[in-house]
Structure formats: C-alpha cells, structure tokens
C-alpha cells in the first residue's frame, strides 16, 4: 500500500489526499488543529464539477498536527501556503526518512527550491495543481475546474503513477518545471482580480473589464519574462501572448472562443478569495509579488501587478469590510497606474 503524507491539509491537500485514499492509498494528513478537529466530526468528502462524490468516514482519517506523523511516508505532498515553506522545510528535514519523495504542490515559482535547500537527504520535486479547489464546509472539498497535475520528471514517480491515475489525478511528468511554473503564474495573476471582484471565477471571467485587468497584468509580466529570457510553457489552448489578447475581446466572442476556459463550476472561486474570507494572509507576494520582484531585478517596474498587490494587502487589512471592485472601477485603477 502506498504511504502518502499531506503536509498542509487545507483545501488542496485534503482534496488530493482524499482522492488518493478512496482508491486505497494510506494517507496521513498534517494540518491546522481547528480544521482537523472539524473533520473528526464530519469526515472528508471530495467532489468535482464532473460529478465525483466520494466520502471518507471520520474514523478512516489519519489526522495529525505535527510533522513527525509523516516519518514513515514514502511520498509527501506539500500544500502549505508559500509563507510557511521555509519553516515547513526545516521541520520536514528533521522528520522525513532519507530518500522520501517530496512534491511541492504550491503556488509560486520558488517553493521547491526552498524545500530542496533544506532537505538534501530527500528528493524534492516541483509540482503544479492547475485546478481550483474550494472548501464548501462540512468537510467537503470541491474541484471546480479542469486540468491534470504536472510534476518534475523523476524515475521514482513511476511507483505512484497508477494510484494517482485511479484517483483521477493523473500527472504529466515535465522536464522543464520552471517553464510550467512561470506559465502557471501568468494564470494565477487572476487570483487577485477574482478576490477583489468578490465574484465566482466564471462570473468574473465572463465580464470583459475584469478580463482586461488580467490582460494588463499578463502583458506586463510577459514583457518582463522576455527581458529576463524566461519562456513560460503554454498551459492553455493558446500561447500566453495570444491568450492575453483573447481576454480583451467582447463578451459574446470570448464565450464562443474560450469555452474550455469557462468550463468550470459556477461557484468556483480563487484560493486568494477564500483566504480573504477566512481572514488569512494571502499568497499575493508569491504571485503578483514575483512579477514585482522580477521587475526590480531587471531595474524596471511592474505598476499593474504592484497595484494589485497593494489592493490585496489593503483587503487583508480591511477584513470583512473590504471593498468589492466592479470591473470598470478596477480597470480604471490599473490603467491609471500604468499610464
């Protein structure tokens, strides 16, 4: 039986772990005491927009609050927020057995590097989760959009490909994960826009003004990528530069040409929106912040992404009183900063 550890049992971690456990993997979940305590009452339910609906009883869950519970695991999926990566890396290094495979399924482009630097005795691989997972309450975690996992190619993954496939989580082995992560970052630039809109993803992306905001953020990032020699992988039906253009077309045309992009649960939202709702620190510094950092390294500026970063920080401070931005208001704000 495969022994899999989930380090960071939040929405993504619980969804991945639940899908694996229902097909026979032995899974240990390490997470926040409050969330795990709730699961002891509700059990764990994983659903998706295509009809998946599977439940694990509470007494079937191996829940823990300390990383030492992962000491026997052969494979550990790291799904903590990026701000916790450095601390988690040190904890994992102390407790994981030598040779264990660790996959960073986190937002951002540098988390695997941070983990790898702290864990020379383990095999650390970069990974990418392309789909949205929303916590729906009562122990239910819902995949609201499409996509297959990406993981850096490594011979040790062959032992796990079968169980991941049976779980509906088939992964693509990638030889250039940095290109994948920089490509995913372009798509994740929408997380902040979605959080500021306070709308479900499908409703937000169906409105041209919000898409024009995303296009501005992506074009700014792509110009910096070009200057830095970064070539992002194409993760959608269109190359990144073409997608940035498609985002600006009228709504009726976008709905016709981007049907796959809009093929998601109507209630799906970004993880950044979920963090704001829960009063948690967001990952904006590892998304928009990466673009701002890249600009600084190049002696340049990224005013659109810097503005989105600032607006999210203000929303974090405002809490439940944060503002919901209309597409027109947000677009005007971003256009004024980039003028």
Strand 3-7 to strand 75-78: parallel, antiparallel, or no bridges (unpaired)?
parallel
> Is 70 exceeded by the pLDDT of residue 119?
yes
Choice among 90-94, 218-222, 237-241 with the minimum mean pLDDT:
237-241
Give the tokens for residue 66. Answer: 């300390």
C-alpha 174: how far from chain center: 17
DSSP string for 191-237: HHHHHHHTS-HHHHHTSHHHHHHHHHHHHHHHHHHHHHT------SS
Give the tokens for residue 292. Answer: 């701002």
pTM: 0.94
What is the spatial distance between Cα 284 and Cα 272, in angstroms, rounded to a whole number? 8
Q: Average pLDDT, whole number, for the chain?
A: 95
Architecture of domain 178-338: Orthogonal Bundle (1.10)
Q: Which fold has domain 3-175?
A: Rossmann fold (3.40.50)
With beta carbons less than 8 A apart as the criterion, state whether 2 and 160 touch: yes
Domain with CATH 1.10.1040.10 in the chain: 178-338
pLDDT score of 339: 63
pLDDT score of 263: 85
> Is 80 exceeded by the pLDDT of residue 163?
yes
What is the spatial distance between Cα 162 and Cα 267, in angstroms, rounded to a whole number? 31
Domain with CATH 3.40.50.720 in the chain: 3-175
Band the pLDDT of 1: cuts 50, 70, 90.
low
β-bridge mates for residue 48, sequence order = 143
What is the spatial distance between Cα 46 and Cα 16, in angstroms, rounded to a whole number? 9
pLDDT digits (tens, 9 = 90+) for 208-235: 999 999 999 999 999 999 999 999 999 9
């Amino acid at each position: 039986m495969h022994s899999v550890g989930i380090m960071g049992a939040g929405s993504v971690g619980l969804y991945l772990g639940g899908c694996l456990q229902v097909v026979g993997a032995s899974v240990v979940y390490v997470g926040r005491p409050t969330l795990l305590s709730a699961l002891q009452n509700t059990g764990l339910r994983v659903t998706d927009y295509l009809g998946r609906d599977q439940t694990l009883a509470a007494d079937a869950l191996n829940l823990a609050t300390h990383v030492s519970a992962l000491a026997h695991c052969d494979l550990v999926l790291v799904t903590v927020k990026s701000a916790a990566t450095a601390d988690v890396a040190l904890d994992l290094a102390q407790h994981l057995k030598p040779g264990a495979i660790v996959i960073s399924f986190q937002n951002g482009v540098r988390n695997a590097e941070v983990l790898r630097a702290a864990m020379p005795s383990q095999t650390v691989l970069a990974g990418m989760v392309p789909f949205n997972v929303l916590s729906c309450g009562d122990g239910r975690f819902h995949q609201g959009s499409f996509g297959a996992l990406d993981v850096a190619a490594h011979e040790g993954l062959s032992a796990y490909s079968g169980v991941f496939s049976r779980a509906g989580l088939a992964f693509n082995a990638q030889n250039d994960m940095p290109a994948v992560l920089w490509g995913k970052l372009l798509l994740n630039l929408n997380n902040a826009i979605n959080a500021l809109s306070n709308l479900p993803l499908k409703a937000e992306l169906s409105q041209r003004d919000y898409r024009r905001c995303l296009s501005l953020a992506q074009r700014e990032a792509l110009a910096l990528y070009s200057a830095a020699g970064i070539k992002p992988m194409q993760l959608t039906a269109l190359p990144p530069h073409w997608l940035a253009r498609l985002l600006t077309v009228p709504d009726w045309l976008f709905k016709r040409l981007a049907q796959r992009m809009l093929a998601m649960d109507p209630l799906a939202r970004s993880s950044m929106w979920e963090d704001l709702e829960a009063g948690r620190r967001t990952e904006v510094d590892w998304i928009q912040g990466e673009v701002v950092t890249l600009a600084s390294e190049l002696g340049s500026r990224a005013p659109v992404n810097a503005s989105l970063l600032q607006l999210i920080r203000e929303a974090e401070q405002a809490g439940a009183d944060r503002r919901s931005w209309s597409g027109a208001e947000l677009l005007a704000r971003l256009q004024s900063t980039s003028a």
